[in-house]
A and B are shown apart, each in its own frame.
Chain A
Amino acid sequence: DAGVIQSPRHEVTEMGQEVTLRCKPISGHNSLFWYRQTMMRGLELLIYFNNNVPIDDSGMPEDRFSAKMPNASFSTLKIQPSEPRDSAVYFCASSNRDRLTYEQYFGPGTRLTVT
C-alpha cells in the first residue's frame, strides 16, 4: 500500500494568495483527518470526515479555512486568503472506522510557508 499521499510537499506563497493542499487516503479507509503542526501549538486537529461527510470542524481556525472530500479517495484543504500565521506543517491522516478501532496513519505532510 502506498500509504497516505499528500501534495505538494512544500509550498511557499505570499500573503493573500490562495493555497490548496491535497490528500489521498489509504485505499479502503473511510475516515480522513486534517491536522496542523506548529512548535507553539503542537498537533491540532482541524477537521475530520467519515464516509466523505465532515463530522467535526471545530478545529478550523476561521472562515479562511475550508475542506472538502468529494469522494473516498481525495480531499482538499484550502486557505483563502493565506496569512503568515498559517505557516505550519499540515498533515492528513486516514483510518478505517468500520473496524471500530482508531488507528490513524499519517501522510508525510505539506510544509506551508506564507511570506
Chain B
Amino acid sequence: GENVEQHPSTLSVQEGDSAVIKCTYSDSASNYFPWYKQELGKGPQLIIDIRSNVGEKKDQRIAVTLNKTAKHFSLHITETQPEDSAVYFCAASGHNQGGKLIFGQGTELSVKP
C-alpha cells in the first residue's frame, strides 16, 4: 500500500523567512497530493493541493511542487508570518487507495516574530 514520509518533524523559522516541508510517497499510481494546516484545537484545513498532471501550483505565499519521477512533493511558504505557526500534514491518494488519503506524520512549524 501507499506510504508517505514527511520531513522535518519540527521547523522553526524567523518571521519573513521561507519554510519548506518535504514528503515522499511510495505508490507511483498516486495522483493527488493535498496539504493540510492544523491549528491548535482545530481540525485539519485543506490549504493547497496538486495533481500529478502539473509540477507546481501557487496560491499567494504558498506553493507546492511535485516530482513524479522521484516521488516527492514539497510545500513552500514564503514571507512567513506568526499566524503560519501550526502543524502541517501532507497526504497522497489515488485510485489504488479508493479515495483514501494517506497522511504523513506532520511538521510542527513555528514562526518566531
Interface residues of A (CB under 8 A from B): 4, 31, 33, 42-43, 45, 48, 50, 55-56, 91, 93, 95, 97, 101-109
Contact = CB atoms under 8 A, between A and B. Distances in A.
B32 A43 contact: no
Given A43-B89, A105-B46, A50 B105 contact: no
Contacts, number: 46
Nearest to B51: A101
Interface string B78-104: 000000000001000100001111010
A33 B99 CA distance: 10
A102 B34 contact: yes
Interface of B: 32, 34, 36, 42-46, 49, 89, 93, 98-101, 103, 105-106
A42 B99 contact: no
Nearest to B94: A102
10 contacts: A33-B101, A43-B103, A56-B100, A91-B43, A102-B32, A103-B49, A104-B101, A108-B42, A109-B42, A109-B43
Contacts of B34: 102-104
Contact of B98 (A4, A56, A104, A108): A56
A39 to B, nearest CB: 10
Contacts of B43: 4, 91, 93, 106-109
A93 B36 CA distance: 13
B57 to A, nearest CB: 14
A42 B100 contact: no
B44 A48 contact: no
Given A91-B43, A102-B99, 19 more contacts: A42-B103, A42-B105, A42-B106, A43-B89, A43-B103, A43-B106, A45-B100, A48-B100, A55-B98, A56-B98, A56-B100, A91-B44, A95-B99, A102-B32, A102-B93, A103-B46, A105-B46, A106-B36, A108-B43
A96 to B, nearest CB: 10
**Closest CB pairs A-B (n = 6):** A106-B43, A102-B93, A43-B103, A102-B32, A106-B44, A108-B43
